[in-house]
Structure 1
Amino acid sequence: MTRYILLRDPTGNWRRSPVPLAGGIAPQDPDAPAAPVVETADLSPQEVRDTIDDPTLLTLQPAMCTRLIAPEPMDELRSADAVPGWGLRAIGADWTPSSGAGVRVALLDTGIDAHHPVFSGIDVTAQDFAGTGIADANGHGTHVAATVLGRDLGGTRVGVARGVTDLLVAKALADNGRGRSEDFFQAMLWALRSKADIIGFALAFDVPGQIDALTEEGYPTALATLAAVHAYRGNLRICEVLLQMIAGDQAPLLLGAVGNDCLRTITPEFETGPSAPAAAAGVLAIGACGPDEAGLSPAPFSNVGAALLAPGAGIISAGLGGGLRTLNGTSMALAHAVGIAALWVEQMRKEDTPVTAQTLAAKLIGTATRAPLGPRASSVECGHGLVQAPKGALE
């Protein structure tokens, strides 16, 4: 028996092509609201063949492992040398007139230490999808959330959008940083139904983990590899269909960490592209940059293929137990970008500009800058450039 994810539309408006599992999913009435449902089931090969005849079924794909896009050590950057708030200054968060007031942010991560003082005055609505409780024993989710909207601590500024008071936290990964793709999809649907303006995540579909899981079940290595790649493609497909279904005036913008898999410190050849689901059509993939002699440059671990860059090296934010800690990674960059997106939502509403996933993405891309980036930084690594906060009178 294999565990499968089933994406359905109970209304019957969205339908797939007559060829099973071949794509071609589209609505009969493009203006009708979508009501996607994600289910899981353990199915035998024969049950799979029987299930695909269900007209409400849009796609059926193997469930797979997910993993945290874990922070990266950087030998050349010691925590003691990290400069508090450098990333906030680089993106203009320290002089913008916007604060993110009235914006609802959702983070799909490892939970949150909601009692940390940086979250004072923030209304946290939490839901556990990983089955280990909403408390964050990992620390990653707490660090990311604090960078997005945390209050100052001991004279140190932590958060980008300190006016945000409405935070949705979906625990999509267990405390060990591992999870399942169905947990991610359920967390995403929960954030959608909770009317988030922005959704941020820093996890990846875990092909190596899927291969290990299948070989432990007795799969030959070659077959396990092929099956894991098939599951990867299928889960990416589910993500893209979900985003297609919920696209519209009320759809939030999704931002995902591009991944920390490159090893440029060994050789420039050791690069790879964006991890999924950040690679999905409809998601803005965020890469990391850090300071160097020429200004700013892409971090050596940051995967290529990002749409935008944000500060992700030597980022000081909340640690478990009430203090601060320094982390490096595209997760930290994602947190800065989510905060900037919140600032822009507030600014666009003040200007009576319609806020949709498309208009917000266009604003982030259109206001990004390449000016601080070194001359060797290419669009392959940097996308449209470094995210920037709305400008004010101090421009």
Structure 2
Amino acid sequence: MHETHIILRRPSGEEPTRGTSFSVPTRGGPSTSKSVPSGATLAVDALDKKDMAELTRDPDVMAVAPSVPMRLIEPVGEDTAAEPAEEGIAWGVQAVGADTCPFTGAGIVVAVLDTGIDPAHSAFAGVELVQKDFTGEGNEDVSGHGTHCAGTLFGRATDGLRIGVAPGVKKALIGKVIGTRAGSSDQVASAVWWAVENGAHVISLSLGIDFPGLQKRLQDQGFPPQLATSRALEGYRANVRLFQTLADMVQARGAFLQTTLLIAAAGNESKRDVRADFEIAVGPPAVADGFISVAAVGPGEQGFVVAPFSNTGAQLSGPGVAITSARRGGGLVAKSGTSMATPHVAGVCALWAEKIKRSGLLSQLQLKTRLLGAATPASLQPGFDPMDVGLGLARAPQD
């Protein structure tokens, strides 16, 4: 039986060079191949056991994983009407210090890999939106999730409210990787490389592996429940390794071409509101080395507190409760989730990128160090668990 796989491979016997391509000969039909940074290529191909055996013996294969279902990290609770904010600035923008930052993200290219965007929304007026559909459904944002995330990252003021952390961004890459039929890891991997090759300095991902969906798909194919669970776990682990390899390649490219940071949501599966120890660890792709994972915090009585749904073990935190941003079709809406925290951190990253770029060469190490180093627990409510909030709340440069 042939199954769709994602393959990362380095050209045999060659030093990494940009733009080399390859395809794996299989019995499942033609492969789809994309050149990727540092001379590697990403291919999406239908493989059987014999093909897999050949690949495992190939020293040039860097990673191979079955394509697994991906899903949105859905907002928690019901969407609510946007409430008026003091000084006409959304609370999350103030919390990360973007409102007092001398930088706006000018000259920085950002990418949002999500459900698409509503390009007609006034929040995106004047922004060059480069859209690409990886789902086969067209670019339309049916759910509004991607529109909301994009509004938080780089949206212009809407209805008198500043919603965007980096409103000076002039170019945004919008990859639709989740549609009405969810998405897949091969679509997400392909979108990451598309964004990198099109100049993204910051990539925001508010999505995760749909493990129950993978398990169900295998059972629908006739696998008994135990075997389906085992196979699903194999696919899960293989995709974590694949995303880690992707991140490694992005980092390697940043050493001699363009810097790109990957910012991903930790997930919303924890249930601290039911019991304090009902916590779940960060899920993929955010858990993979090379991704910056983001937890969600909200206002508390004496400072910001971790959101009850936010998964534990993230590297840093962003505002993720009752976040007002762009609504599909126009206007504003408030949503909660680590999906909402992630574009706050991606926006802060864009502000740091502009600061560094203005003063000299923008490097991967410097950007990551500044972003993580500026995070602070100072505004968090006393008694917080560092495992829940990481290094603290992301903060924009102030000079």
- TM-score, normalising length: structure 1: 0.90
How far apart are 1:56 and its partner, in Å? 3.9
The residue number in structure 2 matching 1:103 is: 108
How far apart are 1:11 and its partner, in Å? 5.2
Q: For each residue in 1:306-362, what CA deviation from the matched residue of structure 2 results, as whole angstroms up to 9, or x when unmatched?
A: 11111000001001111111100011110111111111111112222x322321111
Q: Report 1:310-349 matches (<5 A).
A: 310-349=318-357
The residue number in structure 1 matching 2:392 is: 385
The residue number in structure 1 matching 2:262 is: 254
How far apart are 1:9 and its partner, in Å? 2.0
The residue number in structure 2 matching 1:5 is: 6
CA–CA separation in structure 2 for the residues paired with 1:245 and 1:343: 24
The residue number in structure 1 matching 2:65 is: 61
How far apart are 1:272 and its partner, in Å? 0.8
Residue 304 of structure 1, aligned match among 308, 312, 326? 312
The residue number in structure 2 matching 1:119 is: 124
How far apart are 1:48 and its partner, in Å? 2.3
SS at match of 1:34: helix
How far apart are 1:245 and its partner, in Å? 2.4
How far apart are 1:45 and its partner, in Å? 2.1
The residue number in structure 1 matching 2:374 is: 367
CA–CA separation in structure 2 for the residues paired with 1:80 and 1:255: 26
The residue number in structure 2 matching 1:240 is: 244
Residue 205 of structure 1, aligned match among 206, 209, 212? 209
Gaps (5+ residues) in structure 1? 16-32
State yes or no: 1:148 paired with 2:153: yes
SS at match of 1:229: helix
CA–CA separation in structure 1 for the residues paired with 2:327 and 2:82: 15
Residue 187 of structure 1, aligned match among 185, 191, 195? 191
Cα contact 1:36–1:242 (8 A) shared by 2:
no
Cα contact 1:3–1:63 (8 A) shared by 2:
yes
CA–CA separation in structure 2 for the residues paired with 1:108 and 1:49: 32
The residue number in structure 2 matching 1:171 is: 176
The residue number in structure 1 matching 2:274 is: 266
SS at match of 1:151: coil
Cα contact 1:253–1:358 (8 A) shared by 2:
no
Percent identical among aligned pairs is 39
CA–CA separation in structure 2 for the residues paired with 1:302 and 1:14: 42
Q: For each residue in 1:89-119, what CA deviation from the matched residue of structure 2 results, as whole angstroms up to 9, or x when unmatched?
A: 1111111111110000011111111111110
Cα contact 2:159–2:331 (8 A) shared by 1:
no
Q: For each residue in 1:26-64, what CA deviation from the matched residue of structure 2 results, as whole angstroms up to 9, or x when unmatched?
A: xxxxxxx72222222222323322444445433322211
CA–CA separation in structure 2 for the residues paired with 1:105 and 1:80: 25
| CA separation of 1:236 and 1:13: change in aligned 2, threshold 3 A | farther
CA–CA separation in structure 2 for the residues paired with 1:311 and 1:70: 16
State yes or no: 1:128 paired with 2:133: yes
Q: Which stretch has the larger CA shift, 204-213 or 245-254?
A: 245-254
CA–CA separation in structure 2 for the residues paired with 1:327 and 1:72: 7
| CA separation of 1:93 and 1:238: change in aligned 2, threshold 3 A | same
Q: For each residue in 1:269-290, what CA deviation from the matched residue of structure 2 results, as whole angstroms up to 9, or x when unmatched?
A: 2101111000110111011100
CA–CA separation in structure 2 for the residues paired with 1:277 and 1:294: 33
SS at match of 1:264: coil
Residue 38 of structure 1, aligned match among 28, 37, 42? 42
CA–CA separation in structure 2 for the residues paired with 1:80 and 1:388: 24
What is the total number of aligned residue pairs between the two structures? Answer: 371
State yes or no: 1:229 paired with 2:224: no
Residue 93 of structure 1, aligned match among 92, 95, 98? 98
Instruction: Kindly provide the amino acid, as one letter, of the partner of residue 352 in structure 2.
Output: W
Gaps (5+ residues) in structure 2? 17-36
The residue number in structure 1 matching 2:218 is: 214
SS at match of 2:234: helix
Instruction: Kindly provide the amino acid, as one letter, of the partner of residue 364 in structure 2.
Output: A
SS at match of 1:94: helix
CA–CA separation in structure 2 for the residues paired with 1:387 and 1:55: 40
CA–CA separation in structure 2 for the residues paired with 1:254 and 1:60: 20
Q: For each residue in 1:241-275, what CA deviation from the matched residue of structure 2 results, as whole angstroms up to 9, or x when unmatched?
A: 12222323223011101111101111112101111
CA–CA separation in structure 1 for the residues paired with 2:114 and 2:310: 19
